[in-house]
């Protein structure tokens, strides 16, 4: 098994063929369970673990496998965590106790805890099998003591098939996927703050599923609302009509409340400034992309919601110290030099 980036907060592993035992040992570091697979001889897998302050993020892909946690394991070691998993490829069947069995597919959320036994089978959706990764997902470990929803109230949600396609569940799923994509480049302070946001977002989602929103603190609901605003902005950056009044209307709040809330949760940034920064960041990336060298500069600005070329050029230079044309020429020149060396 080869290891990629290693640090106290971030680790990445790749298990090659004939390395199932090492993979099982790695899984045991995050989930104390018995892992087995019918593809031991050809098993290949990946795992990426990131510490986010009070929570831990795990992205993984692997062939069909089975994970069991027994009463004996619980008596030996109970970390008192909730394990929340979003399945992004493949399918799974989970059994808890004698009677509860649930099937999960892509886009489903699954919540289990370390204090009860379970038997989970993960497999590729079409049943073709094989040792190459067929199952993929992203999960997060949430300390029971830090989640603001009572364990007694959560008992009925454990092991159930929950949707990550709508409402707060979709927002949570999108947030987890974004964390997984960006985890390698996040700074220590960013990771910690995003870990607390993940806790708040999970608490609001669970309270919504239980219809007990009063169990969530006002601060947690405000932080989740800000994350919902950010998600809405990212989806609509291309729209020139994306303005604070439009965002406030979409979230059924006043513009003044939106601005106060966003400034409180975003280190003083205004909504308009954050929108502009996200647009310019996307344009910066596209201008530096050799594949897009033939795309007119004004078209890239319009793609990111700034249709007037003069406005785009002025805002870009104010943010980066170069005009869009100068940035493109410099980036492409550096890219060509790197490819020649």
pLDDT at position 128, please? 52
pLDDT at position 87, please? 93
pLDDT in tens, 229-245: 888 888 889 999 999 99
Q: Reply yes or no on whether the pLDDT at 292 is more than 80.
A: yes
Angle at 214 between CA 208 and CA 217, to 5 degrees: 100
pLDDT in tens, 312-340: 999 999 999 999 999 999 988 887 776 66
Beta bridge partners of 47: 13, 60
Which of these ranges, 146-150, 189-193, 288-292, has the smallest mean pLDDT?
146-150
Question: What's the full length of the chain, in residues?
Answer: 341
Phi and psi angles of residue 74, each rounded to the nearest 5 degrees, phi first? -65, -45
pLDDT at position 283, please? 93
pLDDT at position 339, please? 61
| Residue 188 or residue 148, greater confidence | 188
pTM of the model: 0.66
Average pLDDT over residues 52-71: 89
159-162 long-range Cβ contacts below 8 angstroms, 24+ apart: 159/94, 159/96, 159/100, 159/102, 159/110, 159/111, 159/112, 159/118, 160/102, 160/111, 161/102, 161/103, 161/104, 161/108, 161/110, 162/108, 162/109, 162/110, 162/111, 162/209
Task: Share the mean pLDDT of the chain.
Answer: 84
| Residue 268 or residue 21, greater confidence | 21
Instruction: Find the helix or strand (DSSP H, E) in which 225 lies.
Output: helix 218-235
The SS3 assignment for 240 reads: coil
Which of these ranges, 1-10, 208-217, 263-272, has the smallest mean pLDDT?
1-10
Strand order of the β-sheet with 34-36 is: 34-36, 65-69, 118-123, 91-96, 100-104
pLDDT in tens, 95-148: 987 778 899 999 999 999 989 999 999 988 665 555 566 899 999 998 888 887
Other C-beta atoms closer than 10 Å to the C-beta of 290 total 10
pLDDT in tens, 77-100: 788 889 999 999 999 999 987 778
The SS3 assignment for 4 reads: strand
Average pLDDT over residues 272-294: 90
């Amino acid at each position: 098994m080869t290891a990629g980036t290693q640090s106290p907060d971030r680790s990445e592993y790749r298990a090659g063929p004939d390395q199932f035992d090492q993979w099982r040992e790695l899984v045991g570091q995050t989930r104390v369970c018995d892992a087995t697979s019918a593809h031991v001889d050809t098993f290949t897998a990946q795992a990426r673990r990131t510490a986010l302050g009070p929570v831990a993020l795990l992205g993984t892909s692997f062939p069909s496998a089975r994970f069991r946690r027994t009463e004996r394991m619980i008596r030996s070691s109970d970390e008192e965590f909730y394990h929340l998993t979003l399945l992004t490829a493949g399918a799974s069947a989970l059994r808890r106790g004698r009677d509860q069995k649930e099937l999960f597919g892509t886009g489903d959320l699954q919540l289990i805890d370390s204090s009860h036994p379970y038997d989970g089978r993960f497999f590729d959706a079409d049943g073709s099998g094989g040792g190459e990764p067929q199952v993929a997902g992203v999960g997060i470990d949430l300390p029971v003591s830090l989640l603001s929803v009572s364990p007694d109230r959560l008992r009925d949600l454990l092991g159930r098939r929950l949707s990550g396609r709508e409402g707060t569940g979709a927002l949570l799923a999108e947030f987890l996927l974004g964390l997984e994509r960006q985890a390698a480049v996040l700074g220590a302070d960013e990771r910690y703050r995003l870990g607390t946001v993940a806790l708040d977002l999970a608490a609001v989602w669970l309270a919504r599923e239980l219809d007990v929103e009063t169990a969530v603190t006002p601060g947690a609901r405000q932080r989740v609302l800000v994350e919902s605003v950010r998600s809405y902005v990212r989806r609509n950056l291309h729209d020139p009509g994306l303005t604070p009044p439009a965002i406030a209307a979409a979230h059924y709040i006043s513009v003044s409340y939106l601005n106060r809330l966003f400034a409180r949760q975003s280190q003083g940034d205004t909504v308009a400034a954050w929108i502009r920064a996200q647009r310019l960041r996307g344009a910066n990336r596209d201008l530096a992309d050799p594949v897009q060298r033939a795309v007119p500069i004004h078209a890239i600005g319009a793609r990111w919601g700034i249709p007037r070329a003069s406005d785009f050029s002025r805002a870009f230079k104010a943010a980066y110290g170069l005009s869009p044309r100068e940035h493109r020429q410099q980036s492409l020149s550096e890219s060509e030099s790197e490819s020649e060396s």
